[in-house]
A and B are shown apart, each in its own frame.
Chain A
């Protein structure tokens, strides 16, 4: 059974940092690109970042470029999102998601077939 479990969310002040983790099981982690997506309270879904299966290539939404970093540890089956210079508009539930096929390693072909339960991030003073 495929499982993705996020952790690391919480309350942080504007300008602060937070590191999210996503631990996976049930599939061969190092053969799939992975993504982070988010959903602000009462709003729709927003793609945040994507990392290739080997971690060598990353992509970001313009709204987080230069502030967020995505990484992975394939030996530990774990995906990370380092969030710096956080703003109020970053407040959301953050989901990690597995891409739907092994050959896709960029946003251009991505769909997301399994999602974690999400971790809540609140940026407020």
Chain B
């Protein structure tokens, strides 16, 4: 069981907006540790999508955004495209475990 909780799956039609939640607790997100997001296609390495809660690396389109509030964080994708179909993971730090921790991952399906 992951320290950070994500929904196993989300879906949306092309052009729609979807959000993926990442729920933690008082020893990780709630303690103020940054949340980062990764995108992974089958058989490939993860790619950093959002760092420091809301910052996009160069090359990531601005229809992808991140936010953090309290003990949770969210990844939002607007103008959904077929190429967005992938697995998404949140990551933070947990002070009780003294470890970098990941959510269990969310599979995004574009209908």
Which residues does A use to contact B, with CB under 8 Å? 35, 44-47, 50, 59, 61-62, 95, 100, 107-118
Contact = CB atoms under 8 A, between A and B. Distances in A.
Interface in B80-106: 89, 91, 93, 95, 97-105
A62 B99 contact: yes
Contact of A47 (B34, B40, B45, B101): B101
A107 to B, nearest CB: 4
Nearest to A61: B99
Contacts of B89: 44-45
A108 B34 CA distance: 9
A108 B93 contact: yes
Contacts of A114: 48
B48 A107 contact: no
- Chain B contact residues (Cβ within 8 angstroms of A): what range? 20 to 34
Kindly list the 7 A-B residue pairs having the minimum CB-CB distance in the complex, ordered from nearest.
A47-B100, A111-B36, A115-B45, A107-B100, A44-B105, A111-B51, A45-B102
Among B33, B38, B45, B103, the most chain A Cβ lie within 10 Å of the Cβ of: B45
B48 A109 contact: no
Contacts of B97: 62
B51 A118 contact: no
Nearest to B40: A45
Nearest to B47: A115
Contacts of B101: 47
14 contacts: A44-B2, A44-B103, A45-B38, A45-B40, A45-B46, A47-B91, A47-B99, A59-B99, A61-B99, A108-B93, A108-B95, A109-B93, A111-B48, A112-B91
